[in-house]
Amino acid sequence: MNIVVCLKQVPGTTQVKINPQTNTLIRQDIKNIVNPFDTYALEEGVRLKERYGGKVTAISMGPPQAEGMLREAIAAGADQTILLSDRAFAGADTLATAYTLAQAIKKIEGYDLVICGRQTIDGDTGQVGPELAEELGLPFIAYVNKIEETTTGQMRIQRMIEEGHELIETPLPAVISVVKEINVPRLPSLRGIIKAKDAIIPVWTAHNLGVDPSMVGLDGSATRVVKIFFPERVRHGEKLQGDLEDQVASLIEKLRKSRVI
């Protein structure tokens, strides 16, 4: 099986700060990690390769430092990687991201399956997977928690729905997004890390891809981030006065009034 796994580098913390002028994330001083859901996508790709043979290509669109993450992907079992990196890609929304990823994936010969994470922990939209499928003209199955069986051109998968599971058969190639229930990602291996150290991480630019410049980056984005802000926390705290007995009495009174007790 020829498998493509989409990985995104995200800030390794939920305590992200936002630049009030530009409304963008302040990415300095934050250690970047691979989007946690994408580690399950990679692991599943590697497991499928181990079961059926073939190769795993890890692909990411991001700044040059995403190279480190792709090296880790090699240590974790990816055979090759592609980094899509170009100033022209900056500021992409999910539409432009999916378009750019799709143009790159189209250049990978004879792929059978594209695996994404269910969503990222920064952008958090979960839209790139389905949009990617749309761009590629392929079926999309979200929230996959088990790949039952793969035969030539066909795959049986289980996906999570609100009240249970759905068993789906899909022709290949297809795009899927996976949930964390699907596997336990392996630890890196020494041989993998050593291999990753010497690996060459090809970088594809807008020029290499031959993409329409008006379709990528900020220009290719259908949406604009107008403002990013933390919801203001309004606290309705009240300090009870008096000695302990007064406080207890007034507390009980308040609880009664609000029908808590």
Partner 1 sequence: MEYLLNEQQKLVKNLARKIAEERILPVRADLDEREEFPWAIMKDLADSDLFRIFVPEEYEGLGGGCLDLCLIVEELSRVCSGVAVTYAASALGSFAIRQFGTEEQKKKYLPDIAAGKRLTAFALTEASAGTDATALRTTAEKVAGGYVLNGTKQFITNGGEAEIYTVIALTDKTKGPRGASAFLVDKGTPGFSFGKKEKKLGIRASATIELIFRDCFIPEVNIVGREGMGFIQTLHTLDWSRPGIGAQAVGVAQGALEAAVDYARQRVQFGHPIIALPAVQTILADMAIQVEAARALVYAVARTVDSGAKKITEESAMAKVFSSDVAMEVTTKAVQIFGGAGYMRDFPVEKMMRDAKITQIYEGANEMLRITIAAELRKRRGRRE
Q: Which residues bind partner 1 (CB under 8 A)?
A: 186-194
Helix ranges (H only) for 59-151 are 66-75, 94-106, 128-136
The DSSP output letter for 2 is E
Q: Which residue has the tokens 């630890």?
A: 187
Q: Is-contact 89 100, C-beta < 8 A?
A: yes
CB 209, min distance to ligand FAD, A: 13
* Partner whose binding site includes residue 54, from ligand FAD, partner 1, none (CB under 5 to 8 Å by kind): none
Amino acid at 195: K
Measured CA to CA, the distance from residue 189 to residue 180 in angstroms comes to: 21
Q: Which residues bind ligand FAD (CB under 6 A)?
A: 6-8, 24-25, 35, 37-38, 41, 60-62, 92-94, 97, 101, 116-117, 119-120, 122-129, 225, 228
| 101 or 155: CB nearest ligand FAD | 101
CB 67, min distance to partner 1, A: 19
CB 243, min distance to ligand FAD, A: 50
| 161 or 190: CB nearest partner 1 | 190
| 27 or 250: CB nearest ligand FAD | 27
Measured CA to CA, the distance from residue 69 to residue 58 in angstroms comes to: 10
Q: Is-contact 18 25, C-beta < 8 A?
A: yes
* Partner whose binding site includes residue 190, from partner 1, ligand FAD, none (CB under 5 to 8 Å by kind): partner 1
